[in-house]
Structure 1
Amino acid sequence: MQVTETLKDGLKRGYAITVTAKQLEDKVMEKLVEAQPDIEMKGFRKGKVPLPLLKKQFGQRLLGEAMQETIDGAMNKHFEESGDRPALQPQVKMTNEDWKEGDDVHVEMTYEALPEVPELDTSKIKVQRLVVEPAEADVDEALASLAETAQDFKDRKKGAKAKDGDQVVIDFLGKVDGEAFEGGAAEDYPLTLGSGSFIPGFEEQLVGVKAGDKKDVEVKFPDEYGAEHLAGKDAVFEVTVKAVKEPVAAAIDDELAKKFGAEDLDALKGQIRDRLSAEYAGAARQVMKRAILDELDKLVDFDLPPTLVEAEAKQIAHQLWHEENPDVHGHDHPDIEPTEEHNKLAVRRVRLGLLLADLGQKSEIEVTDSEMTQAIMNQARQYPGQERAFFDYVRQNPQMQQQLRAPIFEDKVIDQIAEAAKVSEKKVSKEDLQKAVEALDDE
């Protein structure tokens, strides 16, 4: 087998591969010898069919398979010996299209090699870590928010009209075509207007009612309604309003704390303080991560595979276009040409991506099974009731696994860089941290 270099221009590589007819013949015979013990044929005992007969029967069928395996073997051997790592799947094509059995096979292989990443002393990197201590005012604000979520309701003044957000206590009886239906009646039912817990259009018609009112609420069941005998049907609900109540925030006391699983109010404040500290630390980490990436971008420069940069620029342009056109969910739109700004950002992302991958590989950083499982579970929570199906989908989809694994790997590399870098701490206010986070989106 011959492998001859035909192109070496920057990171572009080209090779001519020749697989001789004898090599193909030997590969086919190798496959036949391997299969011979299990083959049965009329007139012969199992495993005793002569090789010439097997070749006549199956040789043509095995030739294509042998050709592919031989070419793949030549490519793999080339990458092992050269040390090249292709940026994308190499392009391979036969150059003697008039090939027939008995001829040598001539193949052209082209690819772009991943560059050699220069050594980097991460101890030279200097960054700041912003530190925010939760203020009592922040804890009190969070407590007030919790009290609102644990709100109660008290009777409005006699004759007061119900507003959106109020609770109305009602008796109701639903009818379709004049006939009451199962599950369409209740007494003393507390309904919060605007909660969206009833059929679309129901709650809106109760805005403005007063205690003692009787009202016929006319609605139409959705076409996709769970009960098939009601789906798409018009209905009338005879409603009697027994009370109109306004929301009131729960008292901030030990009882509120117990509702949220804390022993008392001080314990709840401690939990809130810890949660705020974690949120601030997470935000500060994102700011420091950007600062580390900026420093890395200044410290390294090396050639990049043009196809990787081009693909990244197109992806950036496509993503930003959809963000600017949120009503377009599919991909039925004109081609989006990357701008100079998109190309510049693509160069940065590809260079940093290759650098982080190299640093992680040299440090033998890996994403553990438990980390992957946690990442999948976090994503699955976005699909209530379908968590198991999502979990199975990811397990069977290598591309999806890579999408989840990549940011975990990147964060672990960044953490390692931060350990070696010179990191100074700077205490700032919550507002300053918020501005720093907002600035990340502006860049």
Structure 2
Amino acid sequence: MKVTVEKVDDINYIISGTVENSVIEDKVAKLKEEAAKKPNDEKSTDENIEQDAAGQVFQDFISAGIKEGNLNVENLLGQPGLKKYEQQDDSIYFEVEVAVSPEIDVDIDYKDIAPTYTKPTASPEAVEAKLAEFAQKQAPFTKLDEPKPIENGDVAVIDFTGYINGKPFEGGSAEKFNIQVGSNKFIPGFEEQLVGMEYGEERDVIVTFPKDYSADDLAGKEAKFVVKLHEIQEQKPETIDDAFAKKVLNNETATVETLKKQFAEQTTAEELSQIYMRELKPKIVEALLEKFDFTLPNNIVEQEIDAKVREKTRGFSEEQHKAYMEDKGKFKELRESVRDEARKSIKLALIVEALAKKEGIDVHEQEVIAALGYQATMTGQDPQALLKYYQDNNLMTSAKMGLTEDKLFGHILGFHKA
């Protein structure tokens, strides 16, 4: 194994060199020897053994490069980026890019980037509207006095069973299920097909799951739901009085004024959140990117470009995917179109990580779970299903980074003092 290390700049390095075929062959032989000692149900195929051997040799090559370049393993960022793989007569040539953490000067004064803003104050009209909406939502559902066909906006009580290719699928059925027609909280096209149903009527509803549906086994597939309507329900608003306030706040001393004060605080917080997302956060991001200057890790930027390309092509048709795969120039153009965005994303992440560490800002796992639960509730999703989706798709780290960013920006804006 021959390895050389070239320093590109202050944090990026290219590890290049060759690994003789005999080294890989020896590794394969050793793994096969180990596999032969295992029970039959634990043995690997020759193909898997060869893949494992190649992976181990590649890791040995990286380790040799790190040692040759005298690089600190603890300072390495992300996964090594494979730039070149070339099969030669008696060896394999590798070219790999690695990077160490950049030096970010967190001691510079950055608090001056905080944009000025006026803290909103909830108007009496906004509080009254919020309270009335809440009272409506708190009202119990009751069966309509007179049966009628389903109209848009009605809350229907239905049974349904879903089928794909004639077979019921897991999680696709329910009894006495409440659904508000027109809320767009169910699969696209489902609610519209309920309009006009009569009490006791049974109807087939044909829909197609979105391509980006959270359950991979259902994404993009056509399904038939057999739906039966039991009844339509309505909510009659609660009377907003002291008794209502006592019940809602679970406090015998509560009054309507106590409830209004709480809703005023909630409305103010929501208005401030909107200002933050719409105006303040973009200004802070732009200012931080301009304030700090350091070298970016090339391998991480390339991996971020890969992620953004996958995101852009997720909705592509088979023909579009084929066109990009066959036209290298077109694919390169697509990658370059997201490069600047990827660089900014990585730069911001590194800045936030460094400043959060300096300010002692941390986000615990329970905070992430609570935030996802709130997100699910506000968007009409199942909190447990959303959490599982994030866990299964390795998105928890990304969610934690988002919360850390908001905590840091709140610190810069002085929200914690408000």
TM bucket normalised to smaller: 0.5 to 0.7
- Give a deviation string over 1:233-259, Cα, whole Å, max 9, x none: 9x9x9xxxxxxx9x9976653245356
Q: In the alignment, which residue of structure 1 is the partner of 2:241? A: 253
Assess if the C-alpha contact under 8 Å between 1:316 and 1:342 holds in 2: yes
Q: Post-superposition shift, 1:72?
A: 0.3
Number of aligned positions between the proteins: 333
Deviations 1:214-235 (A, max 9, x none): xxx799743139xxxx9489x9
Aligned to 1:170: 146
What SS does the corresponding residue of 1:222 show, helix, strand or coil? strand
- Which residue of 59, 74, 79 maps to 1:72? 59
Aligned twin of 1:5: 5
**Contact preservation (8 Å) 2:372, 2:383:** no
Q: CA deviation at 1:309?
A: 5.8
Distance 1:35 1:392, change over 3 A: same
Residue 392 of structure 1 pairs with residue 377 of structure 2: no
* Shift, 1:382, TM fit: 6.5
Which runs of 5 or more residues in structure 2 are unaligned?
A: 40-44, 138-142, 150-158, 160-179, 184-190, 207-224, 325-329
Counterpart in 2 of 1:374?
370
Q: CA deviation at 1:86?
A: 5.6
CA distance in 1, matches of 2:236, 2:33: 84
Per-residue CA distance 1:311-356 (angstroms, 9 max, x = gap): 767977998x99xxxxxx9322587966999765554333323322
Q: TM-score when scaled to structure 2? A: 0.56
**Correspondence for 2:405 among 404, 410, 415:** 410
Counterpart contact for 2:85–2:92, Cα < 8 Å: yes
Change (3 A) 1:265 1:362: closer
Compared with structure 1, are the counterparts of its residues 412 and 362 closer, same or farther at alpha carbon in structure 2 (3 Å cutoff)? same
Q: Residue 282 of structure 1 aligns with which residue?
A: 273
Alignment of 1:40-439 (within 5 A): 65-79=52-66, 81-83=70-72, 85=76, 89-91=80-82, 95-99=86-90, 105-111=91-97, 113=99, 116-126=102-112, 127-128=114-115, 130-132=117-119, 134-135=121-122, 138-147=123-132, 150=135, 169-170=145-146, 200-202=194-196, 221-224=202-205, 231=226, 252-258=240-246, 260-261=248-249, 263-283=254-274, 285-286=276-277, 287-304=279-296, 330-332=315-317, 345-360=341-356, 366-381=362-377, 386-398=382-394, 400-415=395-410, 418=412
Percent same amino acid among aligned pairs?
21
Whole-Å separation in 1 of the counterparts to 2:199 and 2:15: 75
1:265 offset after TM fit, Å?
Answer: 0.8
Q: Which has the higher contact order (CA 8 A, sep 6+)?
A: 1
Equivalent residue, structure 1, for 2:15? 15
Structure number with greater Rg is 1
Counterpart secondary structure, 2:146 = strand
Deviations 1:128-153 (A, max 9, x none): 45343535xx234322443366469x
CA RMSD of aligned residues (A): 5.7
Code of the residue aligned with 1:254 in structure 2: it is: D
Deviations 1:39-95 (A, max 9, x none): 79xxxxxxxxxxxxxxxxx99996764453233033135346324746664216654
With normalisation by structure 1, the TM-score equals 0.54
Q: Structure 1 residues 60, 391: CA separation in 2 closer, same or farther (over 3 Å shift)?
A: closer
CA distance in structure 2 between the aligned counterparts of 1:194 and 1:29, rounded to whole angstroms: 64
The residue identity in structure 1 corresponding to 2:269 is A
